[in-house]
Amino acid sequence: MYLKAKGLFRSKDSRSTCTLNISMYRIKEIYFTLQGEGFHTGRPSIFVRFSGCNLWSGIEEDRNTAICNWCDTDFVGTDGPNGGKYSVNQIAKILLGLWPSNNPSNPYVVCTGGEPLLQLDEKLIDKLHSIGFEIGIETNGSIKPPAGIDWICVSPKANADFVLKTGDELKIVFPQSKINPRKYEKLNFNHFFIQPMDGINQKQNIKKSKEFIMKNPQWRLSLQAHKIMGLP
């Protein structure tokens, strides 16, 4: 059940199943860049950032009481580049306009947020497939996804419900005081990444991440390469 509050959607409960039927999607921003994290680092990608999250309102006054209180992303409203309230056809038109027309092969879109599974549904997935896009998502794992997504990256958060226990890529932002990455190692994912938490302790977190991975070689390091390169 979702509450419309201050221009975004918030959930009373982080647990949910994606059974939506949305006519207009609230999009914070859409932009063409290089994927900066995880398995697809360096891959040209269009990012579609959906407004809203079920773990934090995105409003600073709510941060201290949020389930995820360290988020570094602005997902509130629809005022970012190419942001707005769109139909499936309008989103498809924007994506086709952003992807280089001289090299249409292998187009890739990343649905992110916030939490994209509050809005992403089979209708939009089918439309994006119909115009040739491979679809990836970045999700906190608290909502079961609709069918048809090509690449699922799950980044679980401490204190949040965790229902999506299978996918392509598991990415732990590290360290989190109540998350031990080792308890996720037997889940049905193909790739396991540790990503140092950004912020004032970034250097220490990079060191801790390196030390953890060296002791647990099932994991690989994910750096936010887009920030290093000055990309969005």
Q: Is the pLDDT of residue 10 over 60?
A: no
pLDDT tens digits for 51-84? 999 999 999 999 999 999 989 899 999 999 999 9
Residue with the larger pLDDT of the pair 164 and 9:
164
- Arithmetic mean of pLDDT, 19-44: 92
Is there a contact between 53 and 118 (Cβ–Cβ < 8 Å)? yes
Entry pTM? 0.89
- Arithmetic mean of pLDDT, 210-218: 98
Q: Return d(Cα 138, Cα 185) in angstroms, integer.
A: 19
pLDDT of residue 114: 96
pLDDT of residue 12: 39
Q: Is the pLDDT of residue 5 over 60?
A: no
The residue annotated as part of the active site, out of 37, 115, 121, 138, is 138
Q: What is the CATH number of the domain that holds 59?
A: 3.20.20.70
For the chain, the average pLDDT equals 91
Q: Is 73 a catalytic residue?
A: yes
Q: Is the pLDDT of residue 136 over 90?
A: yes
Q: Return d(Cα 15, Cα 1) in angstroms, integer.
A: 10
Q: Quickly state the pLDDT bin for 15 (edges 50, 70, 90).
A: very low
Q: Is 53 a catalytic residue?
A: yes
Q: Is the pLDDT of residue 9 over 60?
A: no
pLDDT tens digits for 141-183? 999 999 999 999 999 999 999 999 999 999 999 999 889 999 9
Residue with the larger pLDDT of the pair 10 and 215:
215
Q: Is the pLDDT of residue 37 over 90?
A: yes
Q: Return d(Cα 232, Cα 143) in angstroms, integer.
A: 26
Q: Which two tokens stand for residue 204?
A: 């220490």
Number of domains within the chain: 1
pLDDT of residue 51: 98
The residue annotated as part of the active site, out of 29, 40, 71, 121, is 71
pLDDT tens digits for 87-131? 999 999 999 999 998 887 889 999 999 999 999 999 999 999 999
Q: Which amino acid is at 145?
A: P
- Arithmetic mean of pLDDT, 179-200: 96
Q: Is 191 a catalytic residue?
A: no
Q: Is 226 a catalytic residue?
A: yes
Sign of the CA dihedral with 55 first, then 212, 171, and 200 last: positive
The domain in which residue 57 lies consists of 2-228
pLDDT of residue 222: 97
Q: Of all helices (H) and strands (E), which one includes residue 204?
A: helix 202-215
Q: Is 138 a catalytic residue?
A: yes
